[in-house]
Amino acid sequence: PYHRRPTLAVEYKQIGGFLKSQVFPSAPAFMQQVMEYDGANLAFVTAAPRGFQSGDRLTWFVLFQNVSGFFVHPVGLEVLVDHSSLDSSQWAVSRVFYNGQYYRDMVQLESAYVQGRVSVEKVRKAPWDGDFSSMKPRAPAAALFPVQLEPQGPRYSVRNNRVLFQAWSFAFGLSVSTGLRLFDVRHGGQRVAYEISVQEALSVYGSNCPGGMSTRYMDGSFGLGRYTSPLVPGVDCPYLATYVDTHSLSDSLRPTKRKASLCIFEQNLGSPLRRHYSNLQSLYYGGLVNSALVVRSIATVGNYDYVWDFIFYQNGAIEGKVQATGYPSSSFLHGDGLRYGNRLWEHTLGTIHTHFVNYKVDLDVGGVKNSLVAHDMAFEMTRAPWSPEQQIERPRLTKKVLDTEDQAAFRLQSQMPRYIYFAANSKNKWGHQRGYRTQITSFAGDHIPEASSMERAISWARYQLAVTRRKEEEPTSTSIYNQNDPWTPTVAFADFINNETITNEDLVAWITAGFLHIPHSEDIPNTVTVGNSVGFLLRPYNYYDLDPSIYSHDGVFFTSEEDFTACEINLLACLPKTASCLPNFPPFTYDGFRNM
């Protein structure tokens, strides 16, 4: 149905024209004297979903000063527009909010203002650069920050959308709605995963203003791939990374190309992947630098920027990670606003909100058919065999095969076994089932009360981990149509979980990670990535007979009896020679401001 469709640019443009030509002129004194409206100095942000029941298409538009970083410059005015009709001449204002008070429409607000019955909170006009919201550095440039380089060129190759890196190979892609995704992930020539992909990013806001309190953004509806932004070399990715153009077909009759909007690079993480210094019995040092391959895209969806990474390590582990930055969303500070966030500036309330991200991980461990096994630890009380009068609390391994989808669906706040792995039908040299385990990094609380009429649309967020049978008719955990009609969701993930057996089947893990963000003064001018990162790891668990990184060419080993200053003994001794010349840095380019 039309009311479920994502709101496209042409509809927003028509709504903007409706506000400018019909709505604002109906309150001339208020708009001129309070808003100082000149036809161009206000910007709006849309709330979503749009109403309270299926069929609604009523949207709160929150007004801000149209300056740099306008997301933190609210002016106190919000307008509810009913744009459900296909005939835009039938559109109407359903309600108006200003500084804590609700009005039937702009005419009623104007009447109350002229009669002196409106509590006016005049906002100081901000300069075009936004003043406090400007991201222009407050300090002059000084010594250049460290720059990553590859002394002998890239050690990975990119051909079309296929990447080779040491023992790894995979294909990458970008979905217009869900963003970054990988296919046919192999290590040592054997497939580990058929698909690893982002599914959704959800934010649920609180506020004492209508736009803020009704916002539950499902960013896949807006387009995590569509809003992938061009990358700035040296900041968004290392300067010498490989940059790839991406294409999307959305809101247009022709594909859109975004130059240099995906990057691939090898990164020295500055710490050992593993090491040991022996000063007992024999004297030696052995270690391996933790150098990993990163595939990255950054989606700018409105105020937020999401840094999406997939990281490939030399020990066979894969990490999926998202870092949140950009501007916090805000409401106009009034009344009991501090119940819903912190004051960020004179009239700016940084509104409390959650972030939830969902991933699809279709593992094929040692083949398509897998089972799900949980390992953990429990203490057992036993008598010391050599001293029976003494008791020992001994940790022991617990094992359980999770036979059904219901057993494999772990609620957000439930206790989950610490080792859960996809088990193959084959065994390693030591008789253990070969496996890959999931390890989640998340600080998520409740997504939304399950009694909510819209909860089924985001029911994937009930679970920190849910493992289901893979089905062609269940390709994604949500739908772009869930945003504007969450009350009758096109896809309800909870329906995927129906107690089917998952032993020796083709399985998919659906992983949810999240965190709470209470904006604070340090979110001005905007939010930093530090501490705002969640994700998951896929780690080999008895998959190999030993750590495969022992075969890396980057290993370092020398004993006390060897000449560790010799290149043939220690590759680090060659650094002064192999890294003596700086590579050729190409001229800086950026394509982010073309064809806007």
Give the residue numbers marked as catalytic.
219, 304
Kindly report the number of other CB atoms within 10 A of residue 127's CB atom: 10
CA distances from 289 to 202, 268, 269, 553, 580 (A): 36, 7, 8, 10, 20
- Which residue bears the tokens 């443009």? 13
CA distances from 160 to 84, 139, 157, 176 (A): 43, 41, 10, 18
CB 542 within 8 A of CB 434: yes
User: Length of the chain, please?
Assistant: 596
CA triplet 77, 62, 55: central angle to 5 degrees?
120
Residues 6+ apart with CB under 8 A from 43: 63, 64, 65, 66, 70
The one-letter amino acid at 437: R
CA distances from 573 to 55, 272, 283, 504, 576 (A): 70, 17, 19, 50, 7
CB 94 within 8 A of CB 81: yes
- Ramachandran region of residue 400, left (φ > 0), alpha (ψ -120 to 50) or beta? beta
Report the alpha-carbon distance of residue 220 to residue 242 in Å, rounded.
26
CB 308 within 8 A of CB 261: no
CA distances from 398 to 380, 393, 401, 421 (A): 11, 15, 11, 14
CB 221 within 8 A of CB 480: yes
Continuous segment of H or E residues that includes residue 575? helix 575-578
Closest Cα to residue 222, out of 33, 7, 543, 441?
Answer: 7
3-class SS at 85?
A: coil
| Half-sphere exposure of residue 479: CA atoms within 13 angstroms, side-chain side | 18
The DSSP code sequence of 197-234 is EEEEEEEEE--SSHHHHT-EEEHHHH-TTTTBPPP-BT
User: At residue 239, what are phi and psi to the nearest 5 degrees?
Assistant: -55, -40
Closest Cα to residue 303, out of 518, 45, 554, 94?
Answer: 45
The DSSP code sequence of 251-315 is SSSS-EEEEEEEEEEEEEEEEEEEEEEE-SSS-EEEEEEEEEEEEEEEEEETTEEEEEEEEE-TT
